[in-house]
Structure 1
């Protein structure tokens, strides 16, 4: 079996089209068989040992092994390409980490329109001007005049940043490592994981009202919540977004799916399509405190 046969077989099993471009050791975008509705909803990874295809719309995943089946000459060529891609990814990540550290160092604590809109007019965050980003990074990150800088950290090391602009647009630094990283906005006995900054701030306010001082980690995405949860020690809880149910997660929302995958006690706001900050803004801080307190009682904590 050659790599082309394995690619065709894996894609057929999950209902996606082979990617238009060929590359090894990295995820390639592909389309599903749903036409325009499935554009970019497929992923393919090719190495010298296997081909994996994934259909995001259905959640189907298939891996075809190439071990002992591929022409030795082709296998060596692909193995070389995989090693080269890993080196390129490592170099990109190192450059991004240096750039991210520079952005964090250049940012200054300040109030920000995004925080005002989320119910925290007096809250200060690290803020960077668009002009700095244009000069030192590039226009691709710029969507306004000033952005909140959320450092993505592994321990004390900054590996990337998330920028939040005035209208809520979020941008990540190209090449930066996000998986397993977080931004800590509170420190204490137990640990709470959530996706975004606004959710973390609302959760922190509710816990303060309940006379709790806990660690709060903003993890940037639902899937990363599950990844961070694997490295957290001690009692850990998750404040998940109540996302719209989708087929690929067994008709559960993305937030709930990954909260369950994390294996930690979790809760969500009651209304579909909302997060904890939405609940806070609509119902008020006392209602949120009640929601958190009820969850903690049910969790036996």
Structure 2
């Protein structure tokens, strides 16, 4: 290895070491001055929230971080004097964000195209689908995918952005790459001037829409309650809104309860949580569908 190549490899190794020390993992480094995504140590399979950008022009320097953790760190090779020249890291970070946004938009666009192609081919879900029977709810907007999974539309109020698929055993998956944040699935109600219900899961919102006659909005997860609730409030400034919070007592920090309260406070809505006192907790219930099915089994509500 010649004298000019040695510093290049050393810079790459030191940059990779900095990423590892930050606890983000050990990605293979490509020093081409472009943003590269990688899977961090705490990413789920298929996720790549880690990113880096490294260039070796003039003086080796780079930035890296995690989009999921909103974490960014800069790095610059030391000179022989032990110092580093001034680097315009803000410009590098801006470049990384611009590239990330462009890649994300392209991914969303491809997924939206796939969703728009698949959705019309799915017939209405049958009322006797195993998942619907288990949850004791009707199909509503649900359709049936070619593999017999329930398919739910996800949109931003103007266009389809993704799909959620639910298998007979209740396992759920989203269309790869689809935009979920700030998007929802609507469930129609039949009551006049009824409040709008917002909850995490399809079964939760469908249950309460059937019981109350109110229209519902499925946000799909606790973290999406706030962005969805803010949009629904903006579209319905004078409507009564009720957040159907989950009671995630089996999860540290009870995110369902915390996120529901936060969303309700932010938009001036009411929030309701299921009360599982004196109920059978062997199934570890968390949401309003769990509560309703347990209440029906115990004869507390009429069928």
- Fold conserved between structures, TM > 0.5: yes
Could you tell me whether the CA contact under 8 Å between 1:10 and 1:62 is conserved in 2? no
Cα distance 1:8–1:190, how it changes in 2: closer, same or farther (>3 A)? farther
Give the superposition deviation at 1:119. Answer: 0.9
Cα distance per residue 1:44-68 (max 9 Å; x no partner): 45579975559x9xxx8755579xx
Gaps of 5+ in 2: 1-10, 55-61, 76-84, 277-283
**In the alignment, does 2:240 pair up with 1:225?**
no
Which structure has the greater CA radius of gyration?
A: 2
Cα distance 1:83–1:61, how it changes in 2: closer, same or farther (>3 A)? closer
Match of 2:262? 261
Could you tell me whether the CA contact under 8 Å between 2:200 and 2:225 is conserved in 1? yes
C-alpha distance in 2 between matches for 1:117 and 1:28? 39
> Greater relative contact order: 1 or 2 (C-alpha under 8 angstroms, separation 6 or more)?
1
Give the superposition deviation at 1:159. Answer: 0.5
Could you tell me whether the CA contact under 8 Å between 2:12 and 2:29 is conserved in 1? no
C-alpha distance in 1 between matches for 2:300 and 2:210? 12
Cα distance 1:27–1:225, how it changes in 2: closer, same or farther (>3 A)? farther
C-alpha distance in 1 between matches for 2:198 and 2:21? 37
Q: What is the CA RMSD across the aligned residues, in angstroms?
A: 4.1
Cα distance 1:278–1:25, how it changes in 2: closer, same or farther (>3 A)? farther
Secondary structure of 2:100 counterpart: helix
Residue correspondence of structure 1 range 65-104 to structure 2 within 5 A: 71-72=87-88, 80=95, 82-104=97-119
Residue correspondence of structure 1 range 130-279 to structure 2 within 5 A: 130=146, 145-187=147-189, 188-208=193-213, 214-233=214-233, 234=237, 235-244=240-249, 246=251, 251-262=252-263, 263=265, 264-271=269-276, 273-279=285-291
Could you tell me whether the CA contact under 8 Å between 1:125 and 1:148 is conserved in 2? no
Match of 1:31? 41
TM-score of the pair, normalised by structure 1? 0.66
Gaps of 5+ in 1: 33-37, 131-144, 209-213, 290-301
More helix by share: 1
Cα distance per residue 1:211-232 (max 9 Å; x no partner): xxx3310111111112211222
Cα distance 1:268–1:8, how it changes in 2: closer, same or farther (>3 A)? farther
Give the superposition deviation at 1:244. Answer: 3.1
Runs of 4+ off more than 6 Å: 2-13, 23-27, 38-42, 47-50
Length, aligned pairs only = 252
**In the alignment, does 2:116 pair up with 1:115?**
no
C-alpha distance in 2 between matches for 1:109 and 1:20? 44
Cα distance 1:129–1:30, how it changes in 2: closer, same or farther (>3 A)? closer
Could you tell me whether the CA contact under 8 Å between 2:122 and 2:144 is conserved in 1? yes
C-alpha distance in 2 between matches for 1:237 and 1:83? 37
TM-score of the pair, normalised by structure 2? 0.66
C-alpha distance in 1 between matches for 2:253 and 2:99? 39
